[in-house]
Amino acid sequence: MSNLADNLTRTAQDHPDRPAVRLDEHVLTYAELQEGAQRVAALLKDKGVEPGDRVGLVLPNVPAFPVVFYGAVQAGAVVVPMNPLLKGREVEYYLKDSGAKVVLAWKDMAEEAGKGAEAVGIECISVDPADFEELLGAHEPDTEVVERDDEDLVVLLYTSGTTGQPKGASLTHHNMMTNAATSAETLLELGEEDVVMGCLPLFHVFGLTCGLNASVLTGACLTLIPRFDAAKALEVVGRDRVTVFEGVPTMYAGMLHADGAADADMSSLRTCISGGSAMPVEVMKKFEETFGCDVLEGYGLSETSPVASFNQPGQERKPGSIGTALRGVEMKIVDDDRKEVEQGEVGEIAIKGENVMRGYWERDDATEEAIQDGWFLSGDLGKVDEDGYYFIVDRKKSLIIRGGYNVYPREVEEALYEHDDVAEVAVIGIPDDDLGEEVGAAVALKGDASVSGEDLQAFAKERLAAYKYPRAVWIVDELPKGPTGKILRREVEAPEGALQK
């Protein structure tokens, strides 16, 4: 029997006065975090929340997030974290699908969350610091940490997927505890003196596991940025002497190109990790050269709690690779019949281990399709080398088939990233009567750059096989991104007439 909240109990006992969470000048010690969580647990029980009930959470990266999260977990509830940018209709879907009993929403999001709550007939509790503190003050701290079985759910994380409505990945206490521990010990090498940069959204699995849960487990301090801003991130690293930076590739690119990057004090950084999507090798190289630190790239999904593989400290690091399987995790590459392919061949990445979700919430058919014999099919195409290092080739659904030839968008993107004026790229397939699909590229440029789409096309043509280079390149101000800053290829559309025959 174990509850993820046991980690907070232990750390608060061992290090009560250490800073747990920081947002600029606002600091919560571990004792204060625990007391706040205990009052939240009491509040939720007062609202009729019982072990196993779902509790919605619509909060940005503010100190209230860990307080409410651990309070709900301590009470034995299943947390349903949501993007604070969701509209009422979207919140309604999450609340209805999960069967949530109550939802807590940050003051700026309470109106939209309230619409969703009203539609399903549940209460929305507004989290406005002053009023919320008063509300919690009316409840005595509840010191009971409700016993939960390893296989009981602790978090329902909704994944957007590429088709249909979002599905809830059902993550257990065992999933979340082991992945936080493995991340903290083998990847981040966290200790109580560390300061972790919390600019990844905590409602997303990467920030939740590797940021919040790993920090609480080890007594490290998590310093928050409510919404990522590259210049602010550079400032916070220097101000708080951040030792561990966790981000997605667009964050690294943003910091690299931010005003003041050349003068930023990044000397405290010990470890930088990147996930969420493949990091362009050029961005990684330039970040390491500019700031004098190593970036370790890895891989995972909401369904795997999230970390499955990483380039780990003390081992050989292969740029462009997502590293080797983590402790407690197995990986292999399979074909469409789920048979393992030869080493070096491209196939789908399959994952098995203590990190794999219990299934999709009330979606037995989707669960059976995704998990067979304990192996979760990721939907990502990859290959493995002779040393056991995995390489992402692309999302299975992103594959472009041009005249019978497979074109992997990632490979085309890598070629365009080599151009000095390119900040971000998304390569997509454009329907074509003759070839089935053509290759198109949306490109966002750095600062004052003014290179043309035709020039970039010629640049790519020199670096790629004839069937791979993009027949259409168009310049955009910015690319669509998800909550973590990950580029959303599926939302990129070619402008009218982009493909000239």
Domain with 223, as residue range(s), is 195-395
pLDDT (0 to 100) of residue 498: 83
Co-location of 390 and 408 in the same domain: no
Co-location of 381 and 431 in the same domain: no
DSSP conformational letter for 487: B
Strands (E), 257-395: 271-274, 295-300, 307-310, 324-325, 329-334, 347-353, 359-360, 371-372, 375-384, 390-395
Q: What is the CATH number of the domain that holds 430?
A: 3.30.300.30
Give pLDDT < 50 ranges for the chain.
Answer: 162-163
- Tokens read off for 27: 């600091």
In a domain, 425, yes or no: yes
- The answer to pTM > 0.85 is yes
Give the residue among 470, 475, 367 at the shortest CA–CA distance from 424: 475
pLDDT (0 to 100) of residue 501: 60
Total domain count, the chain: 3
Residues of the chain by 3-state class (helix, strand, coil), percent to 5: 35, 30, 40
Q: Which residues have C-beta within 8 Å of that of residue 316, sequence separation ≥ 6? A: 387
Co-location of 146 and 34 in the same domain: yes
Confirm if 494 and 476 have CB atoms less than 8 A apart: no
**Termini Cα distance of the chain:** 64
| Greatest CA separation for the chain | 71
Return contacts of 283-286, CB within 8 angstroms, 24+ apart. 283/249, 283/252, 283/253, 283/256, 283/417, 284/252, 284/319, 285/319, 286/256
Confirm if 210 and 218 have CB atoms less than 8 A apart: no
- Tokens read off for 144: 């009971």
In a domain, 307, yes or no: yes
Per residue in 460-473, pLDDT (tens digit) is: 999 888 889 999 99
In a domain, 498, yes or no: no
CA distance 163 to 166: 8
Helix (H) / strand (E) containing 251 = helix 249-257
φ, ψ (nearest 5 deg) of residue 385: -95, -175
pLDDT (0 to 100) of residue 277: 77
Per residue in 209-240, pLDDT (tens digit) is: 999 999 999 999 999 999 899 999 999 999 99
Co-location of 349 and 236 in the same domain: yes
Q: Which residues have C-beta within 8 Å of that of residue 51, sequence separation ≥ 6? A: 75, 76, 77, 146, 148, 152
Co-location of 377 and 298 in the same domain: yes
CA distance 414 to 490: 18
Co-location of 151 and 13 in the same domain: yes
Co-location of 227 and 290 in the same domain: yes
Q: Tell me the Cα Rg of the chain.
A: 23
Co-location of 140 and 215 in the same domain: no
In a domain, 120, yes or no: yes
pLDDT (0 to 100) of residue 448: 85
Helices marked H in 126-229 = 129-137, 173-182, 205-206, 214-218
Q: What is the CATH number of the domain that holds 279?
A: 3.40.50.12780
